[in-house]
Chain A
Amino acid sequence: SAVISQKPSRDICQRGTSLTIQCQVDSQVTMMFWYRQQPGQSLTLIATANQGSEATYESGFVIDKFPISRPNLTFSTLTVSNMSPEDSSIYLCSVPGTGLSYEQYFGPGTRLTVT
């Protein structure tokens, strides 16, 4: 399985500011996913990021709030813009497995607290 790292591991930010989260994979992958895990909740898909094309956002998530970059096959960033306390969550990136069983492998997550 792929080894995935995220930076930062955690941060405390003031409302109105923006934070960019980095996700690095040790192998080339076409597709990367960004999820949000709000306190005490499950994971919700924010967007799917394919290299060379615009990210595809899920209902309820917009590019202006969560811009995503995918400059190459091993790296992606998610920015949380104009933050409010409601954005306090764990943000995780994931990549698909190499087989046809559709499993995903997750990074360790970025724990964001907005004050």
Chain B
Amino acid sequence: AQSVTQLGSHVSVSEGALVLLRCNYSSSVPPYLFWYVQYPNQGLQLLLKYTTGATLVKGINGFEAEFKKSETSFHLTKPSAHMSDAAEYFCAVKSQAGTALIFGKGTTLSVSS
């Protein structure tokens, strides 16, 4: 069965530090991959997506992710963390069986001053 694994349920960084949130997926076909962010008491907001083409994908709020097929990874990065980045981040892959999304368990990002 398809799955998404997010390594680290909680990541803490200092303001201005590099943010790295890890995501590995399983898929037997070229995947469609997504990162979503969920701020407290809000719904999910699409950060970025990978479909085909360039493996380095840029998203909103300075985030980017790199698709590495050989590593089945789609890690999310941001060069310099801001306090407003504190939120829950979810990695997702499109289901092979249809158009639904399969989500990882999420990573809580904390940013300290």
Contacts and interface: CB of A to CB of B under 8 A. Distances in A.
30 contacts: A41-B105, A42-B90, A42-B104, A42-B106, A43-B90, A43-B101, A44-B103, A45-B101, A48-B98, A48-B99, A48-B100, A58-B100, A92-B44, A96-B99, A101-B51, A102-B32, A102-B99, A103-B34, A103-B46, A103-B49, A104-B101, A106-B36, A106-B43, A106-B44, A106-B45, A107-B43, A108-B42, A108-B43, A109-B42, A109-B43
A92 B98 CA distance: 19
A10 to B, nearest CB: 9
Given A42-B104, A43-B90, 9 more contacts: A31-B99, A45-B101, A48-B100, A101-B32, A102-B51, A102-B101, A104-B46, A105-B46, A109-B42
Contacts of A66: none
Contacts, number: 52
Nearest to A90: B43
